[in-house]
Amino acid sequence: MKKKLALIRNAQNDHLKRSMLLSILCKPIGMAISFFYTPVLLNYLGEEAYGIWSTILSIINWINYFDVGIGQGLRNTLARSIAVGDKTKSQQSVSTGYVAISVISGGLFFVSLPLIGILDISAIFNTDLSVKPVLLVSFFCICINFVLSLSKTLLYATHQAEKVGFMIVLTQGINLVGIILLSLFGKGNLLAVAMVIGLSGILVNLIFTGQVWHKFPYLIPNIKKYYTSELKDICNVGIKFFFIQIAALVLYSTDNMIITSLFGPAEVTPYHTAYAFFGIVHGLFGAMIAPLWSEYTVAMAQKDYKWIKKTVYNLDKTLPFISMILLIGTMAFEPVSRIWLHKNLAYTKGLIPCMALYYFLSIWGSIYSNVLNGMGKVNLQLIFGGASAILNIPLSIFWGRNCGMGSAGVCLATVICMLGSNLPITISTHRMLDSLEVSEKSNI
């Protein structure tokens, strides 16, 4: 087994570099598309409708967090079984994952239907625009994509992380073309936007799902291969991923809803554009480290703690460089945003530097969440992520409304929570890696 794993590690080294490079190269293309997409969509919808759409995206994307950690757990389980060439277990894991996700997706959709019908959606979104039909279409599409997006899990587990980048770029391209075409026939149709964006995701997921199944036929799910015992194996770590995802949901995805509720949907637009601008740096970094998760899983199985430790230290060295890029972005933001959006937006005082700090902490945290996820050591994230999620909403309301800081206060609350989580997780991870390396040397 050790010889097999050693051969796999050696064979993957060059592929890892290629995967990281291709993933990064996809980002400039995605950035170019996003550069045109945001102003095109903003011009088509207008500030209020754009703010509502940004909030709807935050809500419907919550569904992605309700897989009870199956997607993340499957990624680790599948990476291990593929690494040792166990095709039978691989098919059992995939089949079990798809069946479980399909059941959850169906349940979520049929629960959401009566809720959307009963709730006063206009009051929740603080608007007179018709939002219910948009929510129905969006929920329908996201529930389908909830199942089909397991294609990304398969790509990561089979060390094809760069193709996830291709998927994102292709989806962005279809969305941009779709919105441009909609602009030729009018403006402000939220329902049409929901249909274009929802259907583009379904189409791209279908294309890449077929590609994975063609290349790896043993990964085609078979309902007869569903095993409850396999689901327990997947969910052993997966359930912890689930609670971490819920904590991340509260920490990262509630800001738009808080701003909408406290200050109105129009205030979401400047917040979201700043979020999208600085998110470019985070996206590039995320693309670079995306292939590492499954590599950490294989290295953990091989007990190659030295490689894991070296990789983390090298990533730490990029943080000063990233901070300089974000600082430059802070100084250049307003003139660049005027050119980018073709209009002037009113940004709350302190929002821009706060958003830059938000993304620095997010990138820093992603280094450690990635390694801990790959190693299956998620208890630290569970503890500190949960604490951050609990504190975020009251702190956002306090600094945003009570202290009169507006959307900047909402962002500041998230920054404080992230900092309180990143510091102990960073220190604990380095101590754990040192301990594992020393333990392995003593066994030798």
pLDDT at 358 (0 to 100): 92
Six-digit token pair at 80?
């291990």
- The answer to whether residue 441 scores a pLDDT higher than 70 is no
Say if CB 146 and CB 279 are below 8 A apart: no
What span, in angstroms and rounded, lies between the C-alpha atoms of 355 and 374?
A: 28
**pLDDT tens for residues 320-341?**
999 999 999 999 888 888 887 7
Query: What CA–CA distances, in Å, run from 78 to 93, 122, 176, 221, 377?
Result: 7, 44, 34, 13, 17
- The answer to whether residue 4 scores a pLDDT higher than 60 is no
- The answer to whether residue 30 scores a pLDDT higher than 60 is yes
Nearest to 316 by CA among 274, 387, 367, 384: 367
Let me know if 114 is exposed, middle or buried by CB neighbors in 10 A (0-12, 13-18, 19+). exposed
What span, in angstroms and rounded, lies between the C-alpha atoms of 168 and 23?
A: 10
| 204: confidence class by pLDDT, cuts 50, 70, 90 | very high
What span, in angstroms and rounded, lies between the C-alpha atoms of 254 and 94?
A: 32
Nearest to 274 by CA among 334, 320, 361: 334
**Mean pLDDT comparison of 1-15, 89-103, 287-301, highest-scoring range:** 89-103
Nearest to 175 by CA among 40, 14, 18: 40
**Max CA-CA distance within the chain?**
71
Nearest to 197 by CA among 254, 264, 134, 147: 134
What span, in angstroms and rounded, lies between the C-alpha atoms of 25 and 166?
A: 10
222 secondary structure, DSSP code: -
Mean pLDDT value across the chain: 82
**The pTM is what?**
0.66
Q: Which residue has the higher pLDDT, 134 or 376?
A: 134
**pLDDT tens for residues 354-408?**
999 999 999 999 899 888 887 877 778 878 878 888 888 888 888 888 888 888 8
What span, in angstroms and rounded, lies between the C-alpha atoms of 162 and 156?
A: 9
What span, in angstroms and rounded, lies between the C-alpha atoms of 223 and 209?
A: 17
347 secondary structure, DSSP code: P
What span, in angstroms and rounded, lies between the C-alpha atoms of 84 and 29?
A: 36
